[in-house]
Structure formats: C-alpha cells, structure tokens
Amino acid sequence: MAHAVNLACHVLVTTSATIKMHPTGEQMIELLVLRFKELKGRAYAVETRDAITQVVDFEVRQARERKEAKSEFKWGRRGSKKGGRRTHA
C-alpha cells in the first residue's frame, strides 16, 4: 500500500496542472489533498510520509499562488486599492 501512496503522490504532482484545466479539477485536487492528509497519520515509511508532505505542500503553495495572482490581477491591473476603494487606470 505504501508504494501505491508514494506513486499517487508523484502522479498528482506531475498531472496537477492538467487536472486543474478540467471544470471540477481544482475540487478534485482538494479532495485528494485531504485524503493525503488523512493518510499522513498512518504508519508508513519515512519516504512515503515525506512524499505525502511534499505533495500537500506543493498544492498548498499552488493554491496560495493562484489566490495571489487573482488578487494581483484584481487590484494590480484593473485598478489600485486606495483607502478601501478601487480607482481605475
């Protein structure tokens, strides 16, 4: 089982961008990350737990970067945030 979990981690990191292109892809990734977090608490070998940690951290970073990019687009290109109000360029 540990080998399958380890391989699943590698597959997710490799295919993550493609999965996210699907309309429900981000939701699928979120569910997989939640499942990996559950599996992390089991008695797997150090290598398997490290692979789980890496995939979870990778997806958390990706989600943060997407959120920041959306925020930057919203406030950076279309206008700037001044005193809680938007002004258009």
Which residues fall within 8 angstroms of residue 20, CB to CB, at 6 or more apart?
26, 29
Q: Is the pLDDT of residue 87 over 90?
A: no
Which residues fall within 8 angstroms of residue 78, CB to CB, at 6 or more apart?
86, 88, 89
Q: Is the pLDDT of residue 88 over 70?
A: no
pLDDT band, very low/low/confident/very high, at 76 (cuts 50, 70, 90): low
- Domain residue extents for the chain: 2-77
By the 8 A CB rule, do 54 and 9 touch?
A: yes
Place of tokens 């490799």: 14
Q: Dump pLDDT digits (tens) for 12-59.
A: 999 999 998 999 999 999 999 999 999 988 989 999 999 999 999 999
